[in-house]
Amino acid sequence: MNKISQIIGSSRKVVIKIGSNVLSSDNGTVNNTILHNIVEQANELMKLGKQVIIVSSGAGICGVGAINKWERRGDINYKQALCAIGQVELMMAYKNLFADYDLHVAQLLLTREDFNDNTRTLNIRNTLFTLIDEGVVPIINENDTVSVEEIKIGDNDALSALTANLWNADLLILLSDIDGLYDKDPKTNKDARLIEEIHGTERLNEQIDVRGKSPFGTGGISTKIEAARQVNAYGIPMVLLNGKKAGIILDVMRKKEAGTVFLGK
Ligand code: ADP
């Protein structure tokens, strides 16, 4: 059995982070087929006895789809307004899709600062544990209205790592629009080579080219490497998979070879 399938198969508490690219169609609106497929996979994982927390980007894209304007506005206040509008749409989509499986969803909007405050982290933890115990699917996003940096540098990768650590997850899965970590950006380099296993992230930024990012993406590959570093420090593995491929998590769990796994040293 390959390592990733073994890790997914044996993990009970799983955080799944969905990048904006995964959720966006070529025209910049939300891709409902993919969203539906990810919800279907989360439900399957839960049926197998796993507990799932979702960290979802995509509010901005949903905002553009909802009001069909401002997408070219660079001003931060318009970006935040789009996220505020789109977050409702995004949650409505999740709510309706999970309802097909008789599952409820809950929204948590967090900022990095929330994780630096003991009382707040306790409250987040208590809420998460209660929701999970009751079989509700927590869906977390950055609170864009109050976190300007998020929009500038985009960091739901970090948010998902913080969540995985706070919840003592067994596994963090990042769904992006690439098949894993390559030695250089696969979008611009045809000869880019997939790296299947990473042991320790210390010198990775020096070894691989990390500069590219996709049109609707925010963090690029370096925030993913940093997320791996953060969770690996707590003994949690991270898996990077192509969320645009239908059924990818389940396929990999059932032995399909794909993705990159980041393990501690
Ligand atoms: P997301 O919305 O999923 O967070 P991002 O656009 O922020 O996605 O980051 C993923 C992108 O990073 C990929 O689409 C790819 O073009 C780019 N990238 C740059 N360097 C690499 C690399 N070495 N390996 C894989 N992807 C890379």
Ligand 1 mutation pick, 54, 160, 178, max ligand atoms within 8 A of CB: 178
Mean pLDDT is highest, among 25-39, 91-105, 186-200, for 91-105
For the segment 53-77, the average pLDDT, to the nearest whole number, is 88
How many other CB atoms sit within 10 Å of the CB of residue 210? Answer: 19
> pLDDT tier at 182 (50, 70, 90 boundaries)?
very high
For the segment 3-17, the average pLDDT, to the nearest whole number, is 97
* Nearest Cα to Cα of residue 240 among 194, 177, 175, 184: 175
Percent over 70 (pLDDT), the chain: 93
What pTM was computed for the model? 0.94
Task: State in Å: Cα 208 to ligand 1 middle.
Answer: 12
Q: Tens digit of pLDDT for each residue in 16-41?
A: 999 988 998 877 788 999 999 999 99
Burial class (CB in 10 A: 0-12, 13-18, 19+), 22: buried
> pLDDT tier at 215 (50, 70, 90 boundaries)?
low
Task: State in Å: Cα 197 to ligand 1 middle.
Answer: 17
Please indicate whether residue 176, judged by its CB atom, sits closer than 6 Å to ligand 1.
yes
Contact 209, 225 (CB under 8 A): no
Q: What is the CATH number of domain 3-256?
A: 3.40.1160.10
Tokens describing residue 164 = 């995985």
Query: How do strand 181-182 and strand 194-195 relate by DSSP bridges?
Result: antiparallel
The C-alpha atoms of residue 265 and residue 263 are separated, in whole angstroms, by: 6
67 pLDDT more than 80: yes
| Secondary structure of the chain in HEC code, one letter for each residue | CCHHHHHHHHCCEEEEEECHHHHECCCCCECHHHHHHHHHHHHHHHHCCCEEEEEECCHHHHHHHHHCCCCCCCCHHHHHHHHHHHHHHHHHHHHHHHHCCCCCEEEEEECHHHHHCHHHHHHHHHHHHHHHHCCCEEEEEECCCCCHHHHHHCCHHHHHHHHHHHCCCCEEEEEECCCCEECCCCCCCCCCCEECEEECCCCHHHHCCCCCCCCCCCCHHHHHHHHHHHHHCCCCCEEEEECCCCCHHHHHHCCCCCCEEEECC
Q: Tens digit of pLDDT for each residue in 104-161?
A: 999 999 988 889 899 999 999 999 999 999 999 999 999 888 876 554 445 899 999 9
Please indicate whether residue 36, judged by its CB atom, sits closer than 6 Å to ligand 1.
no
Task: State in Å: Cα 19 to ligand 1 middle.
Answer: 10
Please indicate whether residue 95, judged by its CB atom, sits closer than 6 Å to ligand 1.
no
pLDDT at 125: 97
For the segment 171-188, the average pLDDT, to the nearest whole number, is 94
* Nearest Cα to Cα of residue 264 among 239, 233, 240: 233
213 pLDDT more than 70: no
Please indicate whether residue 219, judged by its CB atom, sits closer than 6 Å to ligand 1.
yes
Mean pLDDT of the chain: 90
Which amino acid residue places its CA nearest to atom 27 of ligand 1?
A: 185
pLDDT at 152: 45
Which amino acid residue places its CA nearest to atom 17 of ligand 1?
A: 213
pLDDT at 173: 98
Ligand 1 mutation pick, 155, 175, 196, 213, max ligand atoms within 8 A of CB: 213
Domain segments of the chain as ranges: 3-256
Please indicate whether residue 256, judged by its CB atom, sits closer than 6 Å to ligand 1.
no
pLDDT at 262: 96
Percent over 90 (pLDDT), the chain: 66
- Bridge partners for 199 per DSSP: 263
Contact 242, 175 (CB under 8 A): yes
pLDDT at 1: 60
- Report which of residues 220 and 22 the model is more confident about: 22
61 pLDDT more than 50: yes
Task: State in Å: Cα 189 to ligand 1 middle.
Answer: 12
Please indicate whether residue 65, judged by its CB atom, sits closer than 6 Å to ligand 1.
no
**Which of 57-66, 76-85, 143-152, 236-245 has the lowest average pLDDT?**
143-152
pLDDT at 219: 65
Please indicate whether residue 181, judged by its CB atom, sits closer than 6 Å to ligand 1.
yes
Which amino acid residue places its CA nearest to atom 1 of ligand 1?
A: 19
pLDDT at 149: 58
Tokens describing residue 16 = 């799944």
How many other CB atoms sit within 10 Å of the CB of residue 97? Answer: 20
pLDDT at 65: 86
Tokens describing residue 54 = 């979702």
253 pLDDT more than 70: yes
